[in-house]
Structure 1
Amino acid sequence: MNTEKVAEYIINWLKEYATNAKVNGFVVGVSGGIDSALTSTLCAKTGLPTLCVEMPIHQAKSQVSRAEEHIKQLKKQFNNVTEVRTDLTSTFEEFKNIVPKVNNKAKVDLSLANTRARLRMTSLYYLAGIHGLLVAGTGNKVEDFGVGFYTKYGDGGVDLSPIADLMKSEVYELSAYLGVPNSIQEAQPTDGLFGDSRTDEDQIGASYDELEWAMKMQDQGKKVNDFSGREEEVFKIYNRLNTINQHKMVAIPVCELPLGLK
């Protein structure tokens, strides 16, 4: 990948889109992870106002410290970068108190994890509305179009997706080129939605390198019986997630009435 040309292209794309949309700039949720670090850096390099938002909900200290380090670095480099910290922990706890209790821990835990992402989306759009900004998505290609590893109407609720055509490995490559802090580049990817130490690989059952490989194999028309051992296992994981998460990747179905019915 020609990192210099790719960075330049995305930055120009962002700037042109915002200018044509007649908005002031961008708002980005910064989590301490590699994807949000790259997205916020690209937005900052447009020269347009870029608001970095921390939205901890029982967040691990390591994630918070990485986010703070990154934002501090951006503010030092770019005078168009500002920050807001919106601690949503009390809001999340209040939500848990007012919804009906359900005796199914696994389903409750997953629903609450998605609720965290949706509370953050709501906060970003609140700030975007006040300041006339676009919500910049932080999803990469394998997450958004491969396994659907994001929350529908959570971190999937955005105005534009600047890095969604980059594989995770390319996200790391571009991040290194743009000087994203080493602490973020070296951290294990995690969505941080469960309040524990589980990583993305723990949840998915495969690494991003493996998922990228499976995505490429599917694009080449390969089938499960073309592989054995770990490759077969990874390909099955990828295919299962790609299938069950299609509802996130395709347009919302509309019931179109036949002519003459109404």
Structure 2
Amino acid sequence: MTDLQEEIIKKLHVKKTIDPATEVRGIIDFIKDYVKANNFLKSLVLGISGGQDSTLLGKLSQMAAEELRSEGLDVYFYSVRLPYGRQADEQDAIDAVKFIDPDHNEVVNIAPAVDASVSALADSGFNLSDFHKGNEKARERMKVQYAIAAHTSGVVLGTDHAAEALTGFYTKFGDGACDLTPLTGLNKRQGRELLKYLDCPAHLYEKVPTADLESDKPLLSDEEALGVTYAVIDDFLEGQPVSDSDYETIIRLYKRSEHKRVLPYHRYHLPKNIENRGE
């Protein structure tokens, strides 16, 4: 293991091995402690896609809300499905909601808002590519979640975890914007372990991960977009050796996405060689 690999693992708080029961308890307690420390909160809000990460966090959030109510706090979990028109893997999202069994299940079609924004930009001479339209979708989804949180006196949860943080595989101020990231430190493999422990239907965590942002490539896999598999990323995060080419790909993704892992830069804190593509 290189010094840089070790530094990244430490920075992203990754454990080489986990105990699912301990992790589940720790995540639930983290959510509960935040709510108790901010006693004006009445809701937890999370977008549900039907993928592994939102399914896991959705279930844990619902469990946290139920425990908070049993302790006398009036807190509810809002799962929010946010399709752009009709979701390609809609049945998975429906199945995820069924597994989570949330206090409230909302569905907001983001297509009209996204299309209006893209059209307004085109009218001003900015014709977005399909890739950048995908980022518009991600940001619209987060905008909706914050609107619901504001309406319900809530907090917005985010699904960012170590594998995504390492590669920067999320949209800046889109799915990368939230108030809490309870899955911090987990890699993809460990997230699957937690879902198995929670008796989640296997097809929800065995499915190929996809961001589902590009209309021209509705189910483009994360791994194809990244150029490296999650199995290799997880090996890297657990301190295991990976091939030279995979190591170089991971480090390139990590350095390129550094701007996503920090607060906005100001005039007294501007590191050199930072790529900021607004993704």
TM-score range, shorter chain: 0.7 to 0.9
Q: 1:13 aligns with which of 17, 30, 33?
A: 30
**Against the structure 1 CA distance between its residues 18 and 206, is the aligned structure 2 distance closer, same or farther, given a 3 Å change threshold?**
same
* TM-score normalised to structure 2 length: 0.80
Q: Does 1:241 align with 2:248?
A: no
Seq. identity, %: 26
- Unpaired stretches in structure 2, ≥5 consecutive residues: 1-17, 67-74, 270-279
Question: Any conservation in 2 of the 1:52–1:84 contact (CA below 8 Å)?
Answer: yes
Distance 1:73 1:250 in 2: 34
* 3-state SS, counterpart of residue 129 of structure 2: helix
Cα separation, 1, equivalents of 2:158 and 2:208 = 20
Alignment correspondent of 1:157? 177
Q: 1:96 aligns with which of 118, 135, 150?
A: 118
Structure 1 gap segments, 5+ residues each: 258-262
CA distance, structure 1, for counterparts of residue 118 and residue 149 of structure 2: 26
CA RMSD, Structure 1 to Structure 2 (Å): 1.9
The residue number in structure 2 matching 1:55 is 82
What is the CA distance between 1:70 and its match in structure 2? Answer: 1.6
Q: Distance in 2 between matches of 1:118 and 1:109?
A: 14
In structure 2, give the amino acid aligned to 1:14: I
Q: Which has the higher contact order (CA 8 A, sep 6+)?
A: 2
Answer yes or no: is the 8 Å Cα contact 2:55–2:100 preserved in 1. no
> 1:182 aligns to what?
202
Pairing partner for 1:37 from 45, 55, 60:
55
Contact 2:59–2:99, Cα closer than 8 Å, also in 1: no
Decide whether the 8 Å contact of 1:102 with 1:108 is kept in 2: no
More helix by share: 1
Q: Residue 162 of structure 2 corresponds to which residue in structure 1? A: 141
Tell which deviates more after alignment, 113-122 or 52-61. Answer: 52-61
**Counterpart Cα distance in 2 of 1:216 and 1:169:** 10
Query: What's the TM-score once normalised by structure 1's chain length?
Result: 0.85
Q: Closer, same or farther in 2 for the Cα pair 1:236/1:90, shift >3 Å?
A: same
